[in-house]
Structure 1
Amino acid sequence: MTITAASKAAVSHLEGTFQQEKRGSVMKVQNTGFDRFVGNRIKLAREEIGLTQTEVAQKIGFNDRQTLGAIETGDRKIKVEELTALISIFDKPLDYFTDPFIIPPQEVEFSWRASAELAKLNEFEEKMRDILAAYRHLGRLIGRPHIQVDQSIRVKKSDSFETVTFLGESLAETWNLGRFPAETLRSFLENSLSILVLRVDADPDISGAVCRLPQFRSLLINRNEPAYRRNYDGAHELFHILTWKSLPPSHREQLTIGGKYRPRKEKLADAFAAGILMPRRSLAPLWKKRGGTVTEWINMVAPEFHVSGKVLYYRLLNLNWISKDDITSLDHLTSSEKNGYKDKDILPFSRIFTEKLHEALDRGFISVRKLAKLLDYTIEDLAELFKIYGLPVPFAL
């Protein structure tokens, strides 16, 4: 098949996708949805190589840049031969312009907590980008698009750690997270803030990440880590989601907690995590009733808050409730957890994520093999995923 023929086939298929019939009703989407989609991809590709509208218009043979501008905004339908020419000009595959399951790198931002080598991290990032693209697109097709609740908070790098810790405490109270916020935080983020929280199978050197797309935020957590680590990483990354506009995070940060030379914004994220997971109003009553040594108290109470003993130690230290002399060695602090808490917390992905993919598969918007390949699953793995969440398997094994 020639590029022109492939372009025509892809355009026809994608137009059909944007006019997809829903069971019992018709999705009223005009061609402008398709035109805007392709136009935006053209704009991203042009900006990526630093060309102006005038320069591209000249290369493609338009009389003026306004024609290209109208294509980019979706106000003018692109012709097959024009798309074919742009494929050559931008040196992009056809799928880049026509496949809604692909998110261009310019449209998504990640910030990772990882010590993995860059090649390994980039490979995993590409995989997660494809998964999030599919989730976003399939949600639209089934009539359940992801609608983000904007919860941006302005924080300056010069703000004190105490101020940011208090911010975390205040949000825990405002959001009614309860006495031990780690137990309810994830559910609140998904159900009230529409932040997609995914528990993923990642390399041990990759702890988690936040992902930012237009009208879409996601928090990725390595589900193979212990619960206390996942809780802390999730709260830390939540800070980056809330403050991305005023204090954008780096693409990658190291995993060390409390390191002397870590960037200040990462230390601020640690302070926020301490405040939201261990609010003073919850700690104070337990501290007043303490008995035994400080080490014994920390090892007893840390599991209540689902954090490590070391994290609770630093929280008490920053509250000035203890001094460094109160602990003979940090090695005596445990990372124990309540029995059962870890087991019920490590299901793959999340319920809302799995339910949307299940519905899309059941209604024929994606094939079994394509979905399994997307998740890096076998067909049997995919069936097991649905069973875990109590969903009927919509295909024969």
Structure 2
Amino acid sequence: MKALRRQRNLSQEEAARLFGFKDRQTISAIETGERRLSAEELVRAVEIFRVPLDFFTDPFLLVGEGKFSWRQNGVIGRALLGYEEDAGRVIAAFRTLAPQVGREAPLLRCSLGLSKESSYEDASAAGDRFAGEYKLGNVPAARLAEVMERDLGMLVLMVDPIEGVSGAACRLPELDVVLINRREVAGRRHFDLAHELFHILTWDAMPPDHVEDVVPKKRSRVEQLADNFASALLMPSTVLGKVGDWSELAGDELIVRLNAVADELRVTASALRWRLVGLDWIDKDIGRGIAEDRLRNNGRSKPAEEPLLPLFSPTFVEVIGKAVNEGRVAMRRVLHLLGISIDDLADLFAVHSVEAPYEL
């Protein structure tokens, strides 16, 4: 009700008149959940706002709750909003079904003690520290999604979004979600994941924009802080220091090591270059002088040998399977929600090593 009223630019007084209520307090009580709608009032709401009844009754729908921040390049607004609604249904399904099958949302949320006034060095230090405290090891990218789901209670979903979308962070009152385009090269996927993690962990202190351009003319301070955090998390100074002295390298020797270490860390060679520049381990002019075409796996093309990650995540698929087995959602609705065939769903359970519902 509140989301629709605001969307229609109606005050509570105007909405009360449309419903025939005596004062705006009744609308306020409905919007805060203190008062239920009667069946007749619900039908009236459908007529007033010209929406289907499902808009009010479908639990697999995010309305005025989920706040998204999208990483995209050249996506038209209406197309993005349409995909946001589709993604919201998947997220809402998990939000609804997870507690029903015994997976409760975490009681506490983690956060970073950073603000817009924090320095880029502060953000880098936080990324370094995160990698250490959560024991991400010598290749942080390999375990980051697992740690986000297992230790932080977030939901990380690999998705096939519309063209131009790299990923997104989604904030709900009781759930944090990160969406990642599984068709991006590994280096970009991992950077997007760490970047969106920053937004989740700093959402209250510095909420991100609804839409973020991946290649903007000028990056906002919040996005630059997110980049510094992500870079340090994926390429901790302790790990890079084990490789040897970078300052003595130049020319082909430097490029060869950049490409090799970037492959080991599952990041792009360009990201590694700028991380080393930020650490003052290679000269800024030397870093700028490296031609982009000499750096492999730099986010422009997907290597033929790189496998396509399975959709969604083991956590998500496990919840869906249990919900179907317990009769909390119909198989047909799951197939429609996920936009896949029953054979694809069977493969999804197999690839995530999750026990399939009895119907499969």
- TM-score norm. by structure 1 comes to 0.80
Find the aligned partners of 1:336 and 1:273 in 2 and give their Cα distance. 16
1:350 maps to which residue? 313
Q: Which amino acid aligns with 2:253?
A: T
**Quick check: 1:294 aligned with 2:254?**
yes
Deviation at 1:48, TM superposition (A): 3.7
| Deviation digits for residues 352-377 of structure 1 (CA, Å, limit 9, x no counterpart) | 10000011111111111111111110
Q: Which is helix-richer, 1 or 2?
A: 1
SS at match of 1:202: coil
> Structure 1's 238 and 157: CA in aligned 2 closer, same or farther, altered over 3 A?
same
Structure 2 match to 1:366: 329
Q: Secondary structure at the match of 2:244?
A: helix
Q: Look up the equivalent residue of 1:333 and give its one-letter code.
A: L
Residues 187 and 267, structure 2, Cα contact 8 Å, conserved in 1: yes
* Whole-angstrom distance in 2 between the partners of 1:278 and 1:70: 50
Contact 2:94 2:316 in 1 (8 A): yes
Structure 1 residue 334 and structure 2 residue 292: aligned? no
Q: CA deviation at 1:395?
A: 5.2
Mark the CA change 1:395 to 1:232 in structure 2 (over 3 Å): closer, same or farther.
same
Which structure 2 residue ranges, 5 or more long, are not aligned?
none
Q: Which amino acid aligns with 1:334?
A: R
Deviation at 1:71, TM superposition (A): 3.8
The equivalent residue for 2:223 is 266
Distance 1:205 1:46 in 2: 31
- 1:232-286 CA distance string (max 9 Å, x none): 1111111111111222211222223xx6622222222111111111111111121
Partner of residue 303 from structure 1, selected from 245, 255, 263: 263
Counterpart contact for 2:318–2:355, Cα < 8 Å: no
Check conservation: 1:202, 1:224, Cα contact below 8 A.
Answer: no
Render the CA deviation track for 1:155-182: whole Å, top value 9, x for unaligned. 3334322221111111211222222211
Alpha carbons of 1:160 and 1:365: their partners in 2 closer, same or farther (altered >3 Å)? Answer: same
Partners of 2:188 and 2:267 within 8 A in 1: yes
- Tell me which moved more, 363-372 or 78-87: 78-87
How far 1:64 moved relative to its partner? 4.4
Hey, what does 1:175 align to over in structure 2?
A: 134
Matched, 1:320 2:280: yes
Q: Give the superposed CA RMSD.
A: 2.7
Change (3 A) 1:294 1:215: same
Per the TM alignment, residue 95 of structure 1 is displaced from its structure 2 partner at its CA by: 1.4
Aligned-residue offset at 1:336: 8.2
CA distance in 2, matches of 1:97, 1:329: 55
CA distance in 2, matches of 1:340, 1:189: 28
Higher mean C-alpha deviation, range 287-296 or range 189-198: 287-296
Decide whether the 8 Å contact of 2:270 with 2:298 is kept in 1. Answer: no
| Structure 1: runs of 5 or more not aligned | 1-41
Rounded Cα–Cα distance in structure 1 between residues aligned with 2:43 and 2:8: 18
In the TM superposition, what is the alpha-carbon distance from 1:340 to its structure 2 partner?
A: 12
- Does residue 83 of structure 1 match 2:42? yes
In the alignment, residue 197 of structure 1 is paired with which amino acid?
V
Match of 2:199 among 218, 240, 244: 240
- Per the alignment, residue 44 of structure 1 pairs with 3
Partner in structure 2 of residue 141 of structure 1: 100
**Deviation of 1:133 (Å):** 0.9
Which residue of structure 1 aligns with residue 70 of structure 2? 112
Opposite residue 283 of structure 1, the aligned amino acid is L
Please list the CA deviations of residues 123-171 of structure 1 after superposition, one character each: whole Å capped at 9, or x if unmatched.
Answer: 2212101111111111233232433641222433343222211111112
> 1:158/1:78 Cα in 2 relative to 1: closer, same or farther (>3 Å)?
closer
- Deviation, 1:217, is 0.7
Corresponding letter in the other structure for 2:232? G
Q: Which amino acid aligns with 1:304?
A: E
3-state SS, counterpart of residue 182 of structure 1: helix
Q: Mapping of 1:4-153 within 5 angstroms?
A: 42-104=1-63, 106-118=64-76, 119-147=78-106, 149-153=108-112
Please tell me whether the aligned partners of residues 75 and 165 of structure 2 are also in contact (alpha carbons under 8 angstroms). Answer: no
1:159 aligned partner: 118
Identity in percent: 39
* Inter-partner Cα distance in structure 2 for 1:318 and 1:75: 53
Structure 1 residues 380, 50: CA separation in 2 closer, same or farther (over 3 Å shift)? same
Distance in 2 (alpha carbons) for counterparts of 1:187 and 1:158: 31
**TM-score normalized by structure 2?**
0.88
| Partner AA of 1:112 in structure 2 | W
What is the rounded CA distance, in whole Å, between the counterparts of 2:293 and 2:258 in structure 1? 12
Shift of 1:65: 4.3
1-structure distance, mates of 2:27, 2:212: 40
| CA distances 1:279-335 after superposition (whole Å, capped 9, x unpaired) | 111111212388782112212211221111111111111111112336542321222
- The number of residue pairs the alignment matches comes to 351
Would you say the 8 A contact 1:142–1:360 is kept in 2? yes
Q: Distance in 1 between matches of 2:276 and 2:26?
A: 63
Asked whether the equivalents of residues 62 and 85 of structure 2 are also in contact (C-alpha less than 8 Å), the reply is no
Deviates more, 1:202-211 or 1:55-64: 55-64
> Residues 51, 224 of structure 1: CA spacing in aligned structure 2 closer, same or farther, 3 A cutoff?
same
In the aligned structure 2, how far is the partner of 1:122 from the partner of 1:43? Answer: 19
> In the alignment, does 2:218 pair up with 1:255?
no
SS of corresponding position for 1:111: strand
**2-structure distance, mates of 1:310, 1:47:** 44
Q: Which has the higher contact order (CA 8 A, sep 6+)?
A: 2
Are 1:136 and 1:145, in contact at CA under 8 Å, matched by a contact in 2?
no
C-alpha spacing 1:247/1:70, structure 2 compared with 1 (3 Å): closer
